[in-house]
Structure 1
Amino acid sequence: MANTKSAKKAARKIEARTEINKSRRSRMRTFIRGVEEALAAGDQALAQAALQKAEPEIMRAAQKGVVPSNTASRKVSRLTQRVKKLSA
């Protein structure tokens, strides 16, 4: 356990930040799941709409440091490819 006052405060900040990051990561995964489910159903219009909602959430998670920016870009890219493939 932290001994100094500053270390105790740092521990509190880390705990709070961890909760926020968990929430952001969960929100991102929920939006990705929406796209995945639309793709599984084969509904191109629904998949496109879900992707348009998911992309900003994924990029926001990257911007906030929850996931690396390359990871976010890769996820968006792969989802976009799959949605386009569904329409073809």
Structure 2
Amino acid sequence: MANTPQSKKRARQNERRYAVNKARRSRIRTFLRNVEEAIASGDKDAASTALREAQPELMRGVTKGVFHKNTVSRKMSRLSARVKAIG
């Protein structure tokens, strides 16, 4: 348990940051799931639209420090390749 005033403040900040990051990660996963479902349905238009909507969310996750830049780059690359391969 935190004892000093500074460590108590740090603990409070970490709790708040954890909640914000958790919400961001959840939001991004929802966008990714929408892309996955569109790919699974085989609808190229819906998949490309979902991918276009997911891209800014993923990049925002990078700028906010939720995801690493290379991780998002890899996900975008793989998803776009899968969307391109549809029918």
Classify the TM-score, shorter chain: over 0.9
Match of 2:20 in 1: 20
Match of 1:85 in 2: 85
Q: Kindly provide the amino acid, as one letter, of the partner of residue 20 in structure 1.
A: V
Superposition map of 1:59-70 within 5 A: 59-70=59-70
State how many pairs are aligned: 87
Give the secondary-structure state (helix, strand or coil) at the position aligned to 2:85. helix
Superposition map of 1:6-85 within 5 A: 6-85=6-85
Q: Kindly provide the amino acid, as one letter, of the partner of residue 42 in structure 2.
A: G
In the alignment, the residues of structure 1 paired with residue 39 and residue 55 of structure 2 have an alpha-carbon distance, to the nearest angstrom, of 15
TM-score by length of 1: 0.96
TM-score by length of 2: 0.97
Q: Kindly provide the amino acid, as one letter, of the partner of residue 34 in structure 1.
A: N
In the alignment, the residues of structure 2 paired with residue 83 and residue 12 of structure 1 have an alpha-carbon distance, to the nearest angstrom, of 42
Unaligned stretches of 5+ residues in structure 1? none
Residue 42 (structure 1) shift: 0.3
Q: RMSD of the alignment, in Å? A: 0.7
CA offsets 1:16-37 (integer angstroms, 9 cap, x no match):
0000000111111100000000
Percent identity at matched positions?
A: 56
